[in-house]
Amino acid sequence: MANAAAPTAAVPTLAPPLEQIRHLAEELRLLIPGVRVGEALETTKEFNPDTFWRRLNEAAVNVSREATTLTEVFSHLPLPSPQETQRFCEQVRAAIKAMIAVYYSLPKNQGITLRKLVRSTTLDIVDGMAQLMDALFMTPTQSSENNDLISYNSVWTACQQVPQIPRDNKAAALSMLTKNVDFVKDAHEEMEQAVEECDPYCGLLNDTEDNSDNHGDEEDDGLGYPNNRDLYWSEEDQELIIPCLALVRASKACLKKIRISVAENGKKDQVAQLDDIVDISDEISPSVDDLALSIYPPMCHLTVRINSAKLVSVLKKALEITKASHVTPQPEDSWIPLLINAVDHCMNRIKELTQNELELSNGLILIRTVLRTKTLGFTSLEKMTSKPLFPFAEKMKPSFILEESSQARVPIPNPVDIDLYSCCHPEDEVSALPKLNLHF
């Protein structure tokens, strides 16, 4: 009698199928930050490369299979029941966590570069699965777009990349160096093409001219209508581009020689040195991109000088690290000093061509240093820089130079605080300049 009166156990209510899919997508995305910063698991077991790669491939195959199953059951009516959806979601969740666990089993002593490649692929798989969940949640089941889910979703593509991952740190280093060579090669070819065609913006000018036919001539220099200075290189610009192109060519040569040295002399067990070479080489391509972007009109010669100096600094550091590593068995090898000399020659030429702009800018920066008083005496500025400033102010006349003497005073129309950079000596490279933040 008592048993008959016992209350029935409450059955937890499951969310509708599509809601479960949406929640799973959110859960998968919450795993991504942990994978980005997660460390390798500590273990006393000896690492077995064959076992690791076998487990990683099996995990990727499992994820791909679960993605296919989920796509099939959600691509037609009726949708699976909440209980069936829960089981599918648990299988997907388990497959993704297994993939992440295999990545965590790769120790650091196998190489940071190799771990980065495995981590990148793992992140692509997790993110791809989350994208698939979003597509299944948002796309109507009867839409023809569901037939294309397998073809366009990235989770399958990411899983197929796992067998292509390099199997050791030397192979991973060569893979990264090859990519960097290709990036710099593409940047150099784009620069050369723009220079050869004398059309930095690849025909955009023609479109602008066509669109401006309906406007009066008085509007040509108005807002939204760039003048020739904004679209073409001046003679000075074209002269400066020549050593910039040479510097990018030298960058490409540096990366190629470093890659060859790693391929011929690199040792798989020297993982730390290989990682150092890759880390500094990874900085070359972004530095080349910065320089390439700065040569487009309207060109700021000081920006070109700054970006060139940054690139030269990275190149020299890369060559020095390579020279000190095991991939250069003979440090006196002639190719390293030869490339250093080529880089220095390009930089010296860039300095020569930008010297006048630098000196003028030094004066303008100091003259534009705004005080809370109404006027600024040149004498005080000369004491700050130990250099005469009137020649710079002379180039700015006739707007506000009152008298031609070292005691001339400059009216300041709009007093505000600005940052003052110490660049009063031409040999000072801006990448190393201290910010003084002077507020008077």
| Alpha carbons 298 and 206: distance in angstroms, whole number | 17
Q: Which residues contact 99 (CB under 8 A, 6 or more apart)?
A: 56, 59, 60, 62, 63, 122, 125, 126
Q: Are 408 and 401 in contact (CB under 8 A)?
A: yes
Please tell me the predicted confidence (pLDDT) of residue 194: 86
Q: What string of pLDDT tens digits covers the 440 residues of the chain?
A: 455 554 555 556 888 888 999 999 999 999 999 999 988 777 768 899 999 999 999 999 999 999 999 888 888 788 889 999 999 999 999 999 999 999 999 999 999 999 999 999 999 999 999 999 888 887 755 444 554 455 447 899 999 999 999 999 999 999 999 999 999 999 999 999 988 876 565 544 444 444 445 544 444 444 444 455 567 888 899 999 999 999 999 999 999 999 999 999 999 999 999 999 999 999 999 999 999 999 988 899 999 999 999 999 999 999 999 999 999 988 666 899 999 999 999 999 999 999 887 777 665 554 554 333 334 444 444 444 444 444 444 443 333 333 333 333 444 344 333 333 333 333 444 344 333 333 32
Please tell me the predicted confidence (pLDDT) of residue 202: 52
Strand partners, 377: 409
Strand partners, 409: 377
Residue 273 tokens read as 């040195």
Question: HSE on the CB side for 349, CA within 13 Å?
Answer: 16
For tokens 């009726």, what's the residue?
78
Domain boundaries, the chain: 17-165, 174-200+230-373
Cα angle: 177, vertex 182, 184; to 5 degrees: 95
User: Domain 174-200+230-373: which CATH class?
Assistant: mainly alpha
Helix (H) or strand (E) holding 410: strand 409-411
Question: HSE on the CB side for 423, CA within 13 Å?
Answer: 24
Helix (H) or strand (E) holding 208: helix 204-211
Strand partners, 375: 411
The size of the chain, in residues, is 440
Between helix 271-281 and helix 169-197 the angle, nearest 10°, is 20
| Alpha carbons 343 and 335: distance in angstroms, whole number | 12
The CATH number that domain 17-165 falls under is 1.20.1420.10
